[in-house]
């Protein structure tokens, strides 16, 4: 059976992390790696309490708040070293439903290298708890990035997704510098340009019920600038290749 690892970055998620971990553990073929950025609320201690009796839960503690992108890359590298086959990104705040995890695996087994959980597939909006302003930013941001990068997907910024080992090995993780929601866009871009198969499946996204939001002005600006940066790099590669 293929080995699957759910990677969950945390910062001040003590109130929700135990319930999230226990929900994931219901799926016997999926392990969990928590990457905690020195949460002052004691998130890491809550995880360690579970680890004392559960061998499928692992923890990486980092010295400070280093960002979403670097957390996932640390998790990818750890999982690759441990020979996992599937790598699932998931939030710790209750936004993503652990009951849908087997659906991701089933989709991956159809031969995909990345399956993204989409909030906007088939023209629908599957978001619970967002106001109109937040929804508008998300919808516009996804349309903006997909058009500029010519990526035919509805939810490039989704943080609920599954990668194959092949996908992560095809990407030079050292060159991925984005650290907020732009990280999700950049990973799709590199995997698509590696010629690998990508799919979307519908999910329902729930606004966080605890913890602190990772959204900031810097994260929004990073996501806005990334498509232009990638297009410029692509243009440089084309010019270089034509010489």
Number of structural domains (the chain) is: 1
- Report the pLDDT value the prediction gives residue 242, as an integer from 0 to 100: 46
Determine if the pTM surpasses 0.85. yes
Q: Which domain holds residue 219?
A: 4-242
Question: Nearest Cα to 33, choosing from 74, 83, 85, 94?
Answer: 74
Q: How high is the pLDDT of residue 238?
A: 45
Tell me: pLDDT of 182 over 70. Answer: yes
Q: What is the mean pLDDT of residues 162-182?
A: 91
Decide if pLDDT at 160 tops 90: yes
The structure tokens listed for 6 are: 């759910």
- CATH code, domain carrying 135: 3.90.550.10
Helical (H) or strand (E) element with 132: helix 132-149
pLDDT of residue 141: 86
CA atoms within 13 A on the CB side of 234: 14
Per-residue pLDDT tens digits for 36-87 = 999 999 999 999 999 999 999 999 999 999 999 999 999 999 999 999 999 9
Q: Write the pLDDT tens digit of every residue in 107-144.
A: 999 999 999 999 999 889 999 988 888 898 888 889 88
In DSSP terms, 10 is beta-bridged to 36
Segment holding 200, helix H or strand E: strand 198-202
């Amino acid at each position: 059976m293929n080995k699957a690892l759910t990677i969950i970055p945390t910062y001040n998620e003590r109130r929700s992390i135990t319930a999230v971990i226990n929900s994931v553990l219901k799926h016997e073929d999926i392990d969990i790696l928590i990457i905690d950025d020195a949460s002052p609320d004691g998130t890491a201690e809550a995880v360690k309490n579970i680890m004392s009796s559960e061998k499928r839960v692992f923890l990486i503690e980092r010295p400070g708040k280093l960002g979403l992108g670097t957390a996932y890359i640390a998790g990818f590298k750890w999982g690759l070293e441990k020979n996992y086959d599937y790598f699932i990104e998931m939030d710790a705040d209750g936004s993503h439903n652990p009951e849908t995890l087997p659906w991701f695996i089933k989709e991956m087994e159809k031969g995909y290298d990345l399956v993204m959980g989409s909030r906007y597939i088939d023209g629908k909006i599957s978001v619970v708890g967002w106001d109109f302003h937040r929804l508008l930013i998300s919808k516009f941001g996804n349309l903006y990035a997909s058009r500029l990068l010519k990526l035919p997907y509805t939810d490039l910024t989704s943080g609920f997704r599954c990668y194959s080992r092949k996908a992560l090995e095809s990407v030079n993780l050292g060159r991925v510098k984005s650290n907020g929601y732009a990280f999700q866009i950049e990973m799709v871009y590199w995997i698509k340009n590696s010629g690998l198969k990508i799919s979307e499946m519908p999910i329902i996204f729930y606004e966080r019920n605890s913890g602190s939001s990772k959204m900031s002005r810097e994260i929004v600006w990073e996501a806005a600038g990334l498509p232009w940066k990638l297009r410029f790099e692509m243009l440089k590669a084309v010019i270089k290749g034509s010489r």
